[in-house]
Amino acid sequence: MATHVDSPPDSPGSPDGPRDGQRAGLPVWQELLLLLAVALVLAILIKAFFLQAFYIPSASMSDTLVTNDRILVQKVSYWGAKSPARGDIVVFSDPGGWLSASESAAPGGPLVRGLEAVGLYPTGGHLVKRVIGVGGDEVRCCDSHGRITVDGVPLHESSYLAPGTEPSLIHFDVKVQKGYLWVQGDNRSDSADSRVHLGDPGGGQVPVDDVVGKVFAVVWPLDHARMLSRPATFASVGGPPGAR
């Protein structure tokens, strides 16, 4: 007479059960949600601490940066004791009334604004200019040859000013306060920069604390993509190049 034997539970080695050292995987939809959540957290951390994308809304930095360029800003450049240096192109938040309402708003609808909030779309509502003077500098326009001077040293700005562009049609003589910057656009005839805000509170000087970071690359459009570096223009100006 045949004996009936109950089948034992699936053993680790059975084909129908999990093998040793293996666990049942998540459903595909759960894995996708997990990956999206991880990507979102990484994007937020990168935006907060390392890199952030911005777009150029105006021609104030032409021809270095042109309207609708997408740029990457490096935040780690000014960590610790480091500060913006003369010649750096920096992105900074509006010191107060520099931007119009239209310039403050980024293009796009709710989706774009959501992507912007987590660092997945270039941000608007900021300004981008070149640092001309740092704390302690005397910045003046102009010498007998029409050049801007920093601590009495004339600047030769042909490497970034468009051909035929005057260094400045606005005359000024300012002493930059400690912890502040004097900034100007490369398109001097179409840039509402420190010179234009001389009569505002702060005298057109930008607090270093308002700086988001240094522009180091243009990433879009592709035909304008390139890395950016500090020009040698300010090498002859004495003292440390960073904000004092």
Catalytic residues: 60, 129
Rounded Cα–Cα distance for residues 177 and 234 (Å): 19
Residues whose CB is less than 8 angstroms from the CB of residue 112 and which lie 6 or more positions away in sequence, other chains included: 106, 121
DSSP structural state of residue 24 = P
Beta strands in the chain (DSSP E): 51-55, 70-74, 89-93, 126-134, 138-141, 149-150, 153-154, 172-175, 180-184, 206-207, 211-220, 226-227
> For the chain, how many residues are written?
244
Rounded Cα–Cα distance for residues 138 and 175 (Å): 4
Q: Are strands 180-184 and 172-175 parallel, antiparallel or unpaired?
A: unpaired
Nearest to 194 by CA among 202, 185, 183: 183
Phi, psi angle pair for 51, to nearest 5° = -130, 150
36, 39, 44, 48: CA torsion to nearest 10: 180
DSSP structural state of residue 36 = H
